[in-house]
Homo-oligomer: A and B are copies of this chain.
Amino acid sequence: MRTFAVATLTRPPFPVRVSAHVGEVRQQSTRWATELGLVRTPGAVRRLDRANAADLAGRACPDARPDQLRLLSDLFTWLFTFDDSCDDDGLGQDPGQLGPVVGRLLDVLDLLGGPTPPELAGVAGPTGAGLHDLCRRVRGQGSPRLLLRFADEMRDYLLALLWEAANRERDRTPPVAEYVQMRRHTGGVRPSFTLTDLAHGGPADATGRTGSEASTLDDLAADLVCWCNDIFSYAKERRQGRDGHNLIVVLARATGRAERRGLTDAARRFNAGLRTYLRLESEVLLDADADTVRFVTARRCWIRGSYDWSLGAGRYR
């Protein structure tokens, strides 16, 4: 897929920048995951190491303070290990098994990183303890608004996983529009944007977020990141016998054509989306205030960073 992606996707025309702290954060995130018990076998540690969460974080936040970079890197680490455990344990295709797990993680989110009830450790396991630790540290940033936003977006992510599992169980490929909407949630890209905004100097306030142009730009940035991910990960997913929750498959099924054609359609959709993004971005940047510039910079770093990370990351091989 790497060759196909390089040949067909427009390379996002934004500067390539990576944080100087990636090396140290990489070690810290791996230790965090190991000590929590998020990875338990040498194979799982290797898989996590290949994914290189810190590199993606370092590209999304090239100028971040190490602790905020670490927070984002730990979030990716949590998302990757949870995703892998859903695959390994068959949770991801069995809503009956996934439901209680999601329910417990939603209970954890309801704590908003506040005092830990004694029963938490026993009930929610390493995944719950890891999520609570992330919430606790987000809470520690001193912005209740940021905390609520992060918890809301993680909730959407978890609920969307149940949608995905129900589809898998009945071997359903969703229609394109439904897939595109739900894909904004299934990958955890929204809470990742939020911690990226934090590292770029704090998230936009509610007025900034509800502006029509800014919220459209934000949706489009999320789409581009997810579609890029779908294209790069397609071959690996196919090899592992994974299912239709990929833009390529969804597009192919919708038109009744071969998946090979879905590849081309997905690349075309990414490139068109990027053109729209660039046009809209230039409108938003006219007379932009400092907050808007920061918001746009963070989205640019994400779009370019996830493209470059996908090119290099072992997670998609």
A binding-site residues for B, Cβ under 8 Å: 95-96, 99-100, 102-104, 106-107, 110-112, 114-115, 139, 143-145, 147-148, 152, 155-156, 159-160, 162-163, 165-167, 169-170, 172, 174-175, 177-179, 181-182, 185, 205-207, 209-210, 212, 215, 219
Decide: A103 and B159 in contact? CB cutoff 8 A: no
Decide: B162 and A210 in contact? CB cutoff 8 A: no
From B147, B167, B206, B212, contact of A148 by CB (8 A): B206
Number of copies: 2
Q: Can you report 24 residue pairs joining A to B where beta carbons are below 8 Å apart? A: A95-B172, A96-B170, A99-B163, A99-B174, A99-B175, A102-B178, A103-B181, A107-B177, A110-B181, A110-B219, A111-B212, A112-B212, A112-B215, A114-B212, A114-B215, A139-B210, A144-B206, A144-B207, A144-B209, A148-B206, A148-B209, A162-B163, A166-B166, A169-B170
Decide: B182 and A103 in contact? CB cutoff 8 A: yes
Q: Which of A155, A181, A212 has the most CB of B within 10 A?
A: A181
Across chains A and B, which 4 residue pairs bring their CB atoms closest together, nearest first? A103-B178, A144-B206, A166-B166, A159-B159
Complex: A254 Cα to B164 Cα, angstroms:
26
Apart from A96-B170, A99-B167, A139-B210, 10 more pairs, CB < 8 Å? A95-B170, A110-B219, A112-B215, A114-B215, A148-B210, A156-B156, A159-B185, A162-B166, A165-B166, A166-B169
If over half of A's interface residues share one DSSP class (helix, strand or loop), that class is named, otherwise mixed; here it is: helix
Complex: A145 Cα to B110 Cα, angstroms:
19
If the complex has contacts A156-B159, A160-B159, A181-B106, are A100 and B175 also in contact, measured as CB distance less than 8 A? yes
